[in-house]
């Protein structure tokens, strides 16, 4: 199975900051990578697919980039609603795997 790693595991930031989360795959997944946001006690929300395609309704301050084995999620100006845990997910194979998550807190 393809293993996913994320760093940092926790990120402390302030409103207005630019934050970047990195996700690495154990093998080439081309651009088959998605990002999700999960707030405490809530279901995850799909933010980005195909490494950089923003889902409908997702604010433009979110962006994704990368290909192959290394990917990033950037939040250009952190807003109060953005304090949450973010997960990457590869879907290059029938067995999909998530990263361990990055918690963005104040």
Contacts with other proteins by CB under 8 A lie at 1, 34, 36, 38, 43-46, 49, 55, 87, 89, 91, 94-101
| Closer to other proteins by Cβ: residue 34 or 78 | 34
Burial of 99 (0-12, 13-18, 19+ CB in 10 A): buried
Phi and psi, residue 85, nearest 5° = -105, 140
Minimum CB–partner distance for residue 78 and other proteins (Å):
22
Q: Which is nearer to other proteins, 51 or 75 (CB)?
A: 51
């Amino acid at each position: 199975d393809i293993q996913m790693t994320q760093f940092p595991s926790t990120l402390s930031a302030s409103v207005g900051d630019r934050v970047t989360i990195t996700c690495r795959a154990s093998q080439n997944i081309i651009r088959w990578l998605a990002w999700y946001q999960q707030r405490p006690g809530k279901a995850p929300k799909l933010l980005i697919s195909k490494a950089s395609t923003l889902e409908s309704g997702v604010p433009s301050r979110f962006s994704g980039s990368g290909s192959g084995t290394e990917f990033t999620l950037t939040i250009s100006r952190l807003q109060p609603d953005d304090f949450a845990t973010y997960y990457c997910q590869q879907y290059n194979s029938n067995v999909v795997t998530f990263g361990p998550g990055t918690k963005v807190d104040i």
